[in-house]
Amino acid sequence: MDVSGFIWPVDQSKVVRFTNGTGRGFGDRRSNGARYHAGCDLYAPRKTKVFAVTYGRIVNYYPFYKSGTYPYDYAYCLMINYGHFVMNHGEILRDLPKGIGVGTIVKPGDLIGYLSSCNMQHTEIYCNTETRNKAWYKGSGQPGTLCDPTTFLINLAKSNGVTIA
């Protein structure tokens, strides 16, 4: 995919390696092997800004993961349909910036949220018009619409001058 003009989704200049096998990568084991990680984790501190990658429309927003650090800091996911793909901007704070919600039209670099105390954006990509995330359980196979975002994210980091280390 051509990523020119696309924006790295997290406000950071350096990200911890998120490739397969790091524990942060696509397909890495979760829940003692009962399921697989459906995305890539982009680590950054709580309240780091999250940006729209390109032109799109917010299609869903719902509680996603219970964060342990702050009792009321439930991590949400924001699903954006970017036309050629849908991204789950996962594990963001419940409170969204003003004017952001389901139905909002976004452009590259728009502020769409902040990271929760999970201290990462859990990033999933779907290849069609999904509006909810799909869990990847052992035995049931990789959900048909779920794509491996690794190469896309590596290219996006490179084009935005974000170091992966």
With b for 16 or more beta-carbon neighbours within 10 A and e for fewer, the 81-94 pattern comes to bbeebbbbbbbbbe
Q: In terms of CB distance, is 66 or 107 closer to Zn ion?
A: 66
CA distances from 2 to 51, 54, 107 (A): 18, 12, 17
Task: Quote the least distance from Cβ 37 to Zn ion, whole Å.
Answer: 6
CA distance 21 to 24: 7
Please choose, out of 10-18, 59-67, 115-123, 149-157, the segment that lies near Zn ion by the rule CB under 5 A: 115-123
CB of residue 38 vs Zn ion: minimum separation in angstroms? 8
- Judged by beta carbon, residue 119 or residue 155, the one nearer Zn ion is 119
Please pick, from the candidates 3, 122, 130, 153, the single residue that binds Zn ion as defined by CB under 5 A.
122
Beta bridge partners of 122: 41, 90
Q: How far is the CB of 105 from Zn ion (least distance, A)?
A: 27
The footprint of Zn ion on this chain (CB under 5 A) covers a number of residues equal to 2
Q: How many CA atoms lie within 13 A of 118 on its CB side?
A: 24
Residue 41 interacts with Zn ion (CB under 5 A): yes or no: yes
Closest approach, Cβ 30 to Zn ion, in A, equals 8
> How far, in Å, CA of 150 to CA of 20, rounded?
8
CB nearer to Zn ion: give 7 or 77: 77
What DSSP assignment string belongs to 55-111? SEEEEEEEEEE--SSSTT--EEEEEEE-SS-EEEEEEE-SSPPTT-STT-EE-TT-E
Segment near Zn ion (CB under 5 A); pick from 9-17, 34-42, 50-58, 103-111: 34-42
Which residue number, 5 or 22, has a Cβ lying nearer to Zn ion? 22
**Residues at the contact surface with Zn ion, assessed by CB under 5 A:** 41, 122
